[in-house]
Copies of this chain bind each other. A is one copy, B any other.
Amino acid sequence: MPDYQAPLRDLRFVMDEMLDYPAHYARLPGGEEASPDVIGAILEEGARFARQVLLPLNQSGDREGCLFEGGDVKAPKGFKAAYALYVKAGWPSLAADPEQGGQGLPPSLAMVLSEMICATNLAWGMYPGLSHGAADALRNHGTEEQQATYLAKLVEGTWTGTMCLTEAHCGTDLGLIKTRAVPNNDGSYAVTGTKIFISAGDHDLAENIVHLVLAKLPDAPEGSRGISLFVVPKFMPNEAGEPGERNGVVCGSLEHKMGIHGNATCVMNFDAAKGFLVGAPHQGLTCMFTMMNAARIGVGIQGLGLTEASFQNALAYARGRLQMRALSGTKAPEKAADPIIVHPDVRRMLLTQKAFAEGGRMLVLYTAQMIDIVEHGPDAVEKERAETLLGLLTPIVKAFLTEVGFEATNEGVQVFGGHGFIQEWGMEQLVRDARITRLYEGTTGIQALDLLGRKVLMSQGESLKVFTREIHKFCQAEEGNGELAEFVRPLAKLNQEWGELTMAIGMKAMNDREEVGAASVDYLMYAGYVTLAYLFARAAKQARVALAGSSDEAAFYLAKLDTARFFYQRLLPRTRAHRAAIETGAKPLMAISAEDFGLGFEI
């Protein structure tokens, strides 16, 4: 069975040493609570919960799946009890506002815990995970009454939330939704329609489920400007605020999926279900983006967690599995063969996982600081800058970390050889679970359009410049630092190239909008590699500083430098392929007609 240790040492490096979280937290209102000691204790407690409670349920949950019986959904054995422990320990309320019953710790802290949850039991983690988006929507757009009724319950975790957006004929294109909301006499609405792919749509973990539902009002304009958001509880809250009468929303069936079997992915039927408008009429898309952005970062963290889980278990296997002798001569003469970690290609796979795990962690924690600032920062200018950076980085966190997470979990299977294909080892489950992360909350293609089209080009490149200027400053400051030249020189070059490449796409797009779509995914991957290169350069700097002091952990910092070098030398060259693909433009994609695509096999 797979094991997992939360990467506490690496977290400490990124948070305390590299990104100076102590100073960051100290500047947030109420941040004095978040002392390194408190943070340390919370992380250790979270690590224990993930390893001892969630990890043992991961394989059994996958095998068992969810049960749909008599119209009700049951999560796999043990999920409910684990959730009760989670609520009892106060995890759901960690980063919520004290006014709403939360503990008022910074959001970034919840994200660190989220990595541990995703690494040990992704399917379980999605039950509480979906509540964040629902809570965000209510906090930002709900009435006071809605907040009093639903938000407090979501914060304490006794109720969970969902996001009901997708319908069978539309996922990306929500303007096409058919679910209707007709006003009742009492100010509520009768919501009718069928939603699909509703994660945690029904289950037995919580007393009640709070659905946030996109639907159209009778007078709605066509398309995406005619969507409104509604809160629709599974059980109507009674006067005491507790679950009362059953509402007209039921699970119609469970989807059979490639992975995340332990999470209930539901078809949800709304039959004149009682709902309440959240935000203004026809403004549902704006409200939805509030949910989506948090969810997208959350999915990026799923990619990171799975990468780390796969890495740790592949490493253990590579140290223990004996097979062949090293090409340069026997390394373990006392054994029948050498452990496979002596083989360079096995190391290539492990280092790929390690670099994506550590790089992804830096990216998430860097982004998490922006979230802290956006939500709680005391300074308006700083807040605006953080908002811009967060907007830019969100699609990168979501899509890049899930794309490389899929690669990394597959490398984990590959390290195991044929055994990786066998369910008992647990490595193939990580691949199956990772596969959804490239799809939901907007596919990689959608994230890429968001990054290049919406964030970069629509701001005339200004949002990108906020980031590339920061990288430029770092490079300038370290220009004379010979010890960092192996990182700073290629980084400075790439950073400049990123701007030029963007400008070139922008110019082409003025003549042909398809150029944006044609470049988008390669552009996003390029952006991801450059972003990680920046963060690895900063990590290398920090490692050098530590090594220059009298560290008794020299091995840790030297390993960090080795990982940064591997990233620069072995993974960063992929930008060459992405750049070349971008530069060929739309023509090779658009030339062939939809009909002619099939001429090789269609009769």
The residues of B that contact A90 with a CB separation of less than 8 Å are: none
Q: Are A601 and B10 in contact (CB under 8 A)?
A: yes
A71 at interface (Cβ–Cβ under 8 A)?
A: no
Q: Are A438 and B424 in contact (CB under 8 A)?
A: no
The residues of B that contact A110 with a CB separation of less than 8 Å are: none
- Name the CB-closest residue of B to A353: B597
Query: Cα distance A584–B512 when bound, in Å?
Result: 39
Q: How far is the CB of A54 from chain B (nearest CB, A)?
A: 16
Q: Are A7 and B600 in contact (CB under 8 A)?
A: yes
Annotate A354-382 by CB proximity to B: 1 below 8 A, 0 otherwise. 10011000000000000000000000000
Which of B256, B344, B410, B445 is the one whose CB lies under 8 Å from A422? B256
The residues of B that contact A166 with a CB separation of less than 8 Å are: 418
The residues of B that contact A558 with a CB separation of less than 8 Å are: 596
Q: Are B581 and A563 in contact (CB under 8 A)?
A: no
A542 at interface (Cβ–Cβ under 8 A)?
A: no
Q: Are A602 and B512 in contact (CB under 8 A)?
A: no
Which of B5, B438, B517 is the one whose CB lies under 8 Å from A601? B5
Q: Are B414 and A513 in contact (CB under 8 A)?
A: no
Q: Are B173 and A445 in contact (CB under 8 A)?
A: no
Annotate A398-434 by CB proximity to B: 1 below 8 A, 0 otherwise. 0000000010001001100110111110001001100
- Interface residue stretch chosen among A73-81, A187-195, A203-211, A587-595: A587-595
Q: How far is the CB of A252 from chain B (nearest CB, A)?
A: 14
Q: Are A594 and B339 in contact (CB under 8 A)?
A: yes
The residues of B that contact A257 with a CB separation of less than 8 Å are: 421-423, 428
Q: Are A559 and B597 in contact (CB under 8 A)?
A: yes
- SS of A interface (majority): helix
Complex interface residues of chain A between 534 and 575 (CB less than 8 A to chain B) = 555-556, 558-559, 562-563, 565-566, 569-570, 573-575
A324 at interface (Cβ–Cβ under 8 A)?
A: yes
Q: Are B323 and A170 in contact (CB under 8 A)?
A: yes
Annotate A308-339 by CB proximity to B: 1 below 8 A, 0 otherwise. 10001001001100111011100000001101
Which of B322, B323, B598 is the one whose CB lies under 8 Å from A315? B598
A33 at interface (Cβ–Cβ under 8 A)?
A: no
Query: Residue among A9, A341, A445, A566 with the most chain B CB within 10 A?
Result: A445
Q: Are B328 and A512 in contact (CB under 8 A)?
A: yes
The residues of B that contact A440 with a CB separation of less than 8 Å are: 418, 421
Q: Are A556 and B599 in contact (CB under 8 A)?
A: yes
Q: Are A521 and B348 in contact (CB under 8 A)?
A: yes
Q: How far is the CB of A399 from chain B (nearest CB, A)?
A: 11
Query: Cα distance A182–B197 when bound, in Å?
Result: 59
The residues of B that contact A573 with a CB separation of less than 8 Å are: 576-577, 580-581
Q: How far is the CB of A4 from chain B (nearest CB, A)?
A: 8
Q: Are B574 and A592 in contact (CB under 8 A)?
A: no
Which of B173, B344, B574, B581 is the one whose CB lies under 8 Å from A569? B581
The residues of B that contact A520 with a CB separation of less than 8 Å are: 344-345
A383 at interface (Cβ–Cβ under 8 A)?
A: no
- Name the CB-closest residue of B to A509: B327
A sample of 22 cross-chain residue pairs with beta-carbon separation below 8 angstroms, ordered by A number, consists of A176-B322, A312-B598, A315-B598, A319-B594, A327-B517, A328-B512, A328-B514, A344-B514, A344-B589, A345-B518, A347-B590, A351-B592, A354-B597, A413-B439, A418-B440, A555-B595, A555-B599, A556-B599, A563-B592, A569-B580, A573-B581, A576-B577
Residues of A whose CB lies within 8 Å of any CB of B are 5-10, 13, 166, 169-173, 176, 197, 255-259, 308, 312, 315, 318-319, 322-324, 326-328, 336-337, 339, 341-348, 350-351, 354, 357-358, 406, 410, 413-414, 417-418, 420-424, 428, 431-432, 435-436, 438-440, 443-445, 448-449, 512-514, 516-518, 520-521, 555-556, 558-559, 562-563, 565-566, 569-570, 573-577, 580-581, 584, 586, 588-592, 594-603
Q: A170-B323, A350-B597, A421-B440 are in contact. List 19 more A-B contacts (CB 8 A).
A: A7-B600, A9-B601, A10-B600, A166-B418, A171-B417, A176-B337, A308-B601, A341-B594, A344-B590, A345-B520, A347-B590, A351-B588, A351-B592, A555-B595, A555-B599, A562-B592, A566-B588, A570-B584, A576-B576
